[in-house]
Structure 1
Amino acid sequence: MGVADTGADTIGDTWETALAAALLGADRAPAGAAATPWGEVDSGADPGGALLGRLAGHGVHHLAGSGFAAEVLVPAEPRAAAGPECPPAAAARLALLLAGGGRDRLREWCDLAATAGTRAPPWLLPALAGHRSDLAGAVGRIAGAELAWLDRACGDGTDEADGAPSADWLEGTPAERRAAFADFRMRDPEAARAALEAGFRAEKAEMRQTLVATLEVGLSEADAPFLETCLDDRSSGVRATAQRLLPSLTRSLLASRMAVRATAALAVTAKTKLLGGTAHTLVVTLPEESPTLARDGVEPRPYARQGGGTRALLLQEILAAAPLHALGEHPPRLWIELALRSEWADPVFEGLFAAIRRERDADWARALAEVLGEAHAGRLSGIRRTNPLREKWARAAALLPAPDWERLVEEAFRGGEAEIVLPHLSHGPAAFSARFTAAHLDWLAAVTRGPRADRDALAKTWLIDRLADRAFPGEDEAASAAAILARLPEDADERLRGQVARLAETLELRAAMRREFGPPITAGESARG
């Protein structure tokens, strides 16, 4: 009995010293802590290795009394290398980002690693695992297979070798089923929709909504008939999801109904002038509420009822859901010019903005930006230059392809009017080219050394903070930002000074992240690497 007690005390004392070493540092372990009931742990002169060996011994000792069957205690499968590890400097940067470097920079690091064809180092996998929910795609590209192996080694992974969810989307939690169905949908859109239709009515309302929303993956005109039936589903969530997806299918029955409603609401009349030529007028017929409109998702909102704008909102939502080919009888420019002169300009433009954004129609986007730009410049008779018109122009320009938007704003830079530049910079693409970044930084340098009123207006918009994420992250750009900071006037507002300091710091960090992966990126590459 005494021997047993002595052994228990020895094991307890050893575990406490091992725990103390883990907390204080392996090289500061208490004297005599290397002795264990199962003998010496040979790790050479490495105190860290000795500590790991002692902890492993304690784990084996614990499992020995756990009652597991022998066949359960089998080694984990070898971890197959999924690609070369990132350079040591990049790994060190990843460790800093995981310790609190910001979600955006962590996503950017993962994208850089994926572009370079490298993987995260094994010692950072547990920390990366905590970001699989908020950065699923980014983390999966550089550590998906390794994290799946780690899950299986810990006994809670899937059977898929690549870490993807089970192909059986009929089982599991709602999140697991959604992920599995999305994977099924990516692999075979037609089969996935057919499988969903087969057992759709047996699903609970929340699950029906989740699965219908997943049809956005690989959405095509072939999905329209099923989505049309969802408009009559007993769940409001399912109906709303179908109403959101169907307008993207410009040949669907819903799109056809919206096209008829749009042409009934908007019409162009022509009248010959006395001195020749033709005068066009936009005739607007505001729609009425109806059950069929409500079925298609067009119904007044409570705030519209209170404000007296119910029918105007119905017009806006019809145009937003209607295919642009419904207005194909006349060129886009004519519709836009006439809408500017209409008393119903606001709902018409809001509806057109939504439709152009959904269909990504470059011709309509160019016409919209050109007409509003001409109107703001005073080149359209009867249109006053106002702040709301300027904001409409900036929003319209943001619908252009990125190179077109950059050329338009570069021209505004040369014009030097901050009141025009600032609204445009509030919109636009998420990442800038090297050429545009250089022009932007030149303009920023001029403004920060210009009149105080312009500097204050710039600081209030917080556009400098956005520039840090959108700018091309090259060495020259980082140096330009640092030069702007160094040359700020002494009377510069502290808010502006702080924003420029963050810009310089962020661009230097982003440039350094790229250096750590290898040769610097060239001007032809995207800002996100």
Structure 2
Amino acid sequence: MDSTDLAADGWEPILAAALLGAERAPPGGPGPLGDLVTEADPGSALLARLALHGIHHLAGLDLAADAMEPVAVREPAGPECPPAAANRLYALLTGGYATRERLREWFDLAAAAGMRPPAWLHQALLRHTQHLPETVGAVAGAELDWLARACGEDPAAAPAASDWTEGTLAGRRAAFADLRARDPEGARMALEAVFRKEKADIREALVGTLWTGLSEADAPFLEACLDDRAGGVREAAQRLLPRLPRSLYASRMAVRATTALVIESKSRLLRSATHELVVTLPEESPALARDGVEPHAWEQRGGGVRAGLLRDILARAPLHAFAGHPPRLWIELALRSEWAEPIVQGLFSAVAREGDPAWARDIADLLAEAYEGKVSGLRRTNELLGRWVQALDLLPEPEWEARVTELIRARKIEAVLAILAKGPDSFSERFSAALIDWLAFVIRGSDDLRRDLAKPYVIGRLGERLWPGEDIAATAAALAARLPEEEGGDRLRQQVMSLAETLELRVAIRREFQP
């Protein structure tokens, strides 16, 4: 800023006036700053003028040449949310780590309603960018970018698809993921053309991004990655190839699985055939290690190294490798085997990976019958209950809810208590109503039932999973109020109170979005 600018902004004249003294200083001239000085006393007026012109002068230092140019007009992205919802968002932004789930819920509701936060919240949102959910982009992304530009910042924008070959690792990965989402085949071909020239960390990151749009067409490239000199690249390929059931990788795993597990059937005159599962534990080898199946020292506790290899082979094998027999027969024979643990866990992993509903239903049916004592040779144990819980977790969410609802109606308390440790992250309104009524039933039961209910995995996450309806929240609050303050019952009472508070907060957030 040169001397002319200093004189123009009024700082140099008022500084000279201060050197002359209050009595000899000329009066303040007209203008927006001079009009603000209303003190009658000369000394007070001079001090006021010094303060005003000093702030005005300092505000202009170190500004770029275009600092005073007007910014583009801000275009609202939609109607503002109600004041109560805005106040809630401010409270969530300043509430700490525990409010992240509620922030995600708030922005989901705002996106569904087509509403946005008011302008007075934008600065607070910018300060908490790292803690905001992805949905903030759809709700207030354009306005936050506008504010960042108005403040002289360059908002982080997703790089163009053509920029994936340059920049930081995170930027290249994001740009390549964008290209992959739009053109899976073209993205992979572009990657293949430059792949060998890239550094190991870049190769690993970009191979992992092939998860988006993954198809059998990617198998040859991923197969070649199994021989990459970088371990991270090999591991990335080993994670993706099991999801391609028609690949060479899947064929190798299918051969290994059907070699390790063979069902031998024997027919008897006038009697049904009997079946036996013959297990041949695999040996470790360089070929297995290349496909990501390697021994671990801690496997000594779970049946040994070779049992661990068997589990990992089955977990990576395609389910069509076992098409020669019904899923139920494979699991029933596995449960009777001395190698039940690695076989069952491996098959469960394969079913979870492929999401096959027929396998999931057959396994859940069998284990339900076994736990009821209806399958010969299988005893009702906690271990069997745990496997049943795992099997139910393989089902689609509506089927999981339907089966647990049947258990609730049948008063199968022990089973429901165990099953609630897993299952969907959120429940439907109908299932939530049935579950909250069941909680009331159990709380009215014996001391032993209340102690079982107080185990952390039962109620701990229900506040996040139950449907946030007015009636459900009111029932939870009534349960908390009715629980007696008895010796040994504090833990259950605290958990139910926490459940009720979480539901009430979630209901309030929804209520605040209403007109």
TM-score, length-normalised on structure 1?
0.84
Given the alignment, which residue of 134, 142, 156 partners 2:139?
142
Q: Find the aligned partners of 2:251 and 2:338 in 1 and give their Cα distance.
A: 27
1:48 alignment partner in structure 2: none
Deviation at 1:409, TM superposition (A): 1.2
CA separation of 1:327 and 1:302: change in aligned 2, threshold 3 A:
same
Q: Structure 1 stretches (4+) deviating beyond 6 angstroms? A: 55-60
**Deviation sequence 1:8-56 (CA, Å, 0-9, x none):** 998xxxxxxxxxxxxxxxxxxxxxxxx99944579xxxxxxxxxxxx99
1:459-498 pair list within 5 angstroms: 459-491=454-486, 493-498=489-494
1:126-275 pair list within 5 angstroms: 126-157=123-154, 163-167=157-161, 168-275=163-270
Q: Find the aligned partners of 1:325 and 1:104 in 2 and give their Cα distance.
A: 40
CA separation of 1:59 and 1:379: change in aligned 2, threshold 3 A:
farther
Given the alignment, which residue of 318, 321, 325 partners 1:323?
318
Percent identity reads 58
* Counterpart check, 1:504 vs 2:505: no
Given the alignment, which residue of 330, 349, 352 partners 2:347?
352
CA RMSD of aligned residues (A): 2.7
Aligned amino acid, residue 213 of structure 1: G
1:93-132 pair list within 5 angstroms: 93-100=88-95, 102-132=99-129
**1:120 alignment partner, SS class:** coil
| Contact 2:33–2:52 (CA under 8 A) maintained in structure 1 | no
1:295-314 pair list within 5 angstroms: 295-304=290-299, 309-314=304-309
How many residues align structurally?
479
| Contact 2:277–2:334 (CA under 8 A) maintained in structure 1 | yes
* Counterpart check, 1:7 vs 2:7: no
Q: Find the aligned partners of 2:448 and 2:408 in 1 and give their Cα distance.
A: 17
CA separation of 1:344 and 1:67: change in aligned 2, threshold 3 A:
closer
Q: Find the aligned partners of 1:241 and 1:396 in 2 and give their Cα distance.
A: 28
CA separation of 1:134 and 1:300: change in aligned 2, threshold 3 A:
farther
Deviation at 1:365, TM superposition (A): 0.5
Aligned amino acid, residue 503 of structure 1: L
**1:286 alignment partner, SS class:** coil
* Counterpart check, 1:425 vs 2:433: no
Q: Find the aligned partners of 1:9 and 1:291 in 2 and give their Cα distance.
A: 89
| Contact 1:132–1:140 (CA under 8 A) maintained in structure 2 | no
Q: Find the aligned partners of 2:90 and 2:428 in 1 and give their Cα distance.
A: 29
Q: Find the aligned partners of 1:237 and 1:40 in 2 and give their Cα distance.
A: 69
1:18 alignment partner in structure 2: none
Q: Find the aligned partners of 2:361 and 2:114 in 1 and give their Cα distance.
A: 38
Aligned amino acid, residue 512 of structure 1: A
**1:102 alignment partner, SS class:** helix
| Contact 1:262–1:318 (CA under 8 A) maintained in structure 2 | yes
Given the alignment, which residue of 492, 510, 513 partners 1:514?
510
**2:262 alignment partner, SS class:** strand
1:31 alignment partner in structure 2: none
Q: Find the aligned partners of 1:217 and 1:323 in 2 and give their Cα distance.
A: 20
**Deviation sequence 1:430-473 (CA, Å, 0-9, x none):** 11111111111111111112111111111123422311000010
2:271 alignment partner in structure 1: 276
Q: Find the aligned partners of 1:191 and 1:495 in 2 and give their Cα distance.
A: 57
Deviation at 1:208, TM superposition (A): 1.4
* Counterpart check, 1:343 vs 2:338: yes
Given the alignment, which residue of 440, 447, 454 partners 1:445?
440
Gaps of 5+ in 1: 11-34, 43-54, 520-529
| Contact 1:158–1:165 (CA under 8 A) maintained in structure 2 | no
Aligned amino acid, residue 382 of structure 2: N
TM-score, length-normalised on structure 2?
0.87
2:4 alignment partner in structure 1: none
Deviation at 1:216, TM superposition (A): 1.2
Aligned amino acid, residue 235 of structure 2: A
Deviation at 1:518, TM superposition (A): 2.0
